[in-house]
Structure 1
Amino acid sequence: MFAHIGAALFFVLFAVGVLRDRRRFSNAVFLGIALAFVGISFIGELSRAPMGVAEVVMVLVLLLPALGTLTVAVFLVANGVKMVRKEGRRPTNLLSLLAGLAIFGVIGLLIASFSTRSRPLIIVTGTTLLVVCYVSFLFLCFITYAFLYGRMRVRGTVDFVIVLGSGLIGGTRVPPLLANRLERGRAVYEAQRARGGEPLLITSGGQGPDEKLPEAEAMADYLVERGFPADRILREDRSRTTEENLAFSRALMDERRPGSRCVIVTNNYHAFRAALMARRTGVNGQVVGAPTAAYFWPSATIREFAAVFLSHKTVNFGVCLMLGALGAAAWWNV
């Protein structure tokens, strides 16, 4: 009964949070806690199942997470190798490989602690598991809600469509990842026109140290060359980060249409974090995602989660330290 009440309570909090503002990380946490309570209630219901059925289900409940964890580790390592081959050895391209190796490291730590029965090693393993479970729970909350957020429709008409920039090839050319954003931005613009709206499209991106022109200019040129009306494009050419993309684009919008609404276009892996930043910078708009190559998604998603995790570092590191201390104390007294 307690699990049922918990699930219902957190589903209500989740629904209220989405209705108030879908751009909150708390929505992801409420959903995750609600689903955890659903899982607990499901396990509780097994006691009423016929003999034999409950045992089989419990074995599956125990085996699936273990097999799933091993499968994820193998997938992440394979994906990491592919990322390095295709994108190079930049630190951000190594994230999926490092995450997979970290999972294997935790599995090795578990095996070593059980086989040696070393008290110090058991304490280290127990505290590590508590911290890993906390971070893993937040990560699952993040990817589950990011998936849902990406499928929520933008209601009504808007005044602006903002396309966020990324790096240029050779300092001048739009790469495929950015082209996907621009094509999605064009599609959103045309959908708004079909609804009776008259939006302006903002290309947002400044000039990096290795670029020969601002990203906003290259993006606008890309669209105009493909038939997009030049008089419907505004260029925001000062920003260097996503937060600056949003802040400087907001200044352009406020200058022309105070109190305006917008749709922000980025890649699908980046949509939820961009939405969190849009809320923080006071931009009145939702975010939609453009397609991304499948091999690029795992490392990019891990990077996005890490950025969100670190944006709440006081709380998250505080919880990790508390769990570590509790785990050490509990295992020490065993």
Structure 2
Amino acid sequence: MKRKRKHLLPLPARIIILLVTLAVVAYTGIIGYVCINERSVQTTVPEKDSYDAIIVLGAQVKKDGTPNVQLSWRLDAACEAYGRKAVPVVVCGAQGRDEPVTEAEAMKKYLMAKDIPETDILMDPESFNTNQNLKNAATLLKDIPDVRKVLIVTSDYHVPRALALAKDLGYEACGLGSPCKPEYWLRNHAREALSWCKYWAVKYLHLPLE
């Protein structure tokens, strides 16, 4: 007569371990999805007829009120696009708890120091996430004649989700990706994977996560 195999762990514990393992595998797969999408991101300024306005998405502002390196790279890419075609530039981002000014204000100062006229810079100092960035930018641009297509400038890993949100909001958009610091690669991609999970939950499950 065969003896029944005894399990060291009770059934509930085994189920929890299985679910955690599946979650880790799924999360790792989503990080891979972010990396694959990132490969298709354009990192050179598109042709002039591809955009009528530029939207720059915000990032961290340092304690001295200046953009951090990653945000500076986004702004430099926007400057290059503006140099190819002088169009309205929307800078987006509210003030975080550890930021002395709004991201939009710091971005505007940076662009003006790069000789972009103040009259061509529109500020959205109220948005706290990408979806809000794009909604507020649309409001700022809606009354400007001949703005039909926008160029969204952000870090390379962030471009695909920004374009997905833009499409959902009815934008005709293209993207321009700037680099991210290598030492922040894992952190940025891990956070972006979570943001994709939130995006899918809101879009397909209609969960109120925004």
Counterparts in 2 of 1:294 and 1:153: CA distance versus 1, 3 Å: same
The offset of 1:184, in angstroms, is: 0.8
The one of 251, 265, 273 equivalent to 2:153 is 265
- Which amino acid in the other structure matches residue 220 of structure 1? K
Instruction: Indicate whether 1:182 and 2:72 are aligned.
Output: no
Q: Note the residue ranges of structure 2 that are not aligned, 5 or more in a row.
A: 206-210
The residue aligned with 1:170 is: 63
Aligned length: 197
Contact kept, 8 Å, 1:204 with 1:245, in 2: the verdict is yes
The residue aligned with 1:142 is: 34
Question: Take 2:181 and 2:103, find their aligned partners in 1: how far apart are those partners?
Answer: 21
Counterparts in 2 of 1:128 and 1:314: CA distance versus 1, 3 Å: farther
Identity %: 23
Contact kept, 8 Å, 2:41 with 2:156, in 1: the verdict is no
Matched position secondary structure for 1:255: coil
1:119-175 CA distances to partner (integer Å, 9 max, x unpaired)?
A: 858965666555544444343233212222346974533111111122321262222
1:240-272 CA distances to partner (integer Å, 9 max, x unpaired)?
A: 222211111111111213652110111122222
What does residue range 197-216 of structure 1 map to in structure 2 within 5 Å? 198-216=86-104
Counterparts in 2 of 1:130 and 1:315: CA distance versus 1, 3 Å: farther
Counterparts in 2 of 1:131 and 1:162: CA distance versus 1, 3 Å: closer
The one of 218, 228, 232 equivalent to 2:116 is 228
Instruction: Indicate whether 1:252 and 2:144 are aligned.
Output: no
- Which amino acid in the other structure matches residue 263 of structure 1? L
Counterparts in 2 of 1:154 and 1:121: CA distance versus 1, 3 Å: farther
Matched position secondary structure for 2:82: helix
The offset of 1:219, in angstroms, is: 1.3
The residue aligned with 1:157 is: 50
Contact kept, 8 Å, 2:50 with 2:151, in 1: the verdict is no
TM-score (norm 2): 0.77
Matched position secondary structure for 1:246: helix
What does residue range 270-289 of structure 1 map to in structure 2 within 5 Å? 270-289=158-177
Counterparts in 2 of 1:301 and 1:121: CA distance versus 1, 3 Å: farther
Contact kept, 8 Å, 1:171 with 1:213, in 2: the verdict is no
Contact kept, 8 Å, 2:59 with 2:93, in 1: the verdict is yes
| Rg comparison, structure with higher value | 1
Matched position secondary structure for 2:154: strand
Counterparts in 2 of 1:300 and 1:118: CA distance versus 1, 3 Å: same
Q: Relative contact order (alpha carbons < 8 A, sep ≥ 6): 1 or 2 greater? A: 2
The residue aligned with 2:208 is: none
What does residue range 1-334 of structure 1 map to in structure 2 within 5 Å? 118=7, 124=15, 130-150=22-42, 154=46, 156-170=49-63, 172-191=65-84, 193=85, 198-257=86-145, 260-313=148-201
Counterparts in 2 of 1:139 and 1:214: CA distance versus 1, 3 Å: closer
**Structure holding more helix per residue:** 1
Question: Take 2:117 and 2:203, find their aligned partners in 1: how far apart are those partners?
Answer: 47
Question: Take 2:69 and 2:136, find their aligned partners in 1: how far apart are those partners?
Answer: 25
Contact kept, 8 Å, 1:269 with 1:304, in 2: the verdict is yes
Matched position secondary structure for 1:285: strand
Contact kept, 8 Å, 1:260 with 1:284, in 2: the verdict is yes
Matched position secondary structure for 2:126: coil
Cα-Cα RMSD: 3.2
Matched position secondary structure for 2:56: strand
The residue aligned with 1:37 is: none
- Which amino acid in the other structure matches residue 31 of structure 2? F
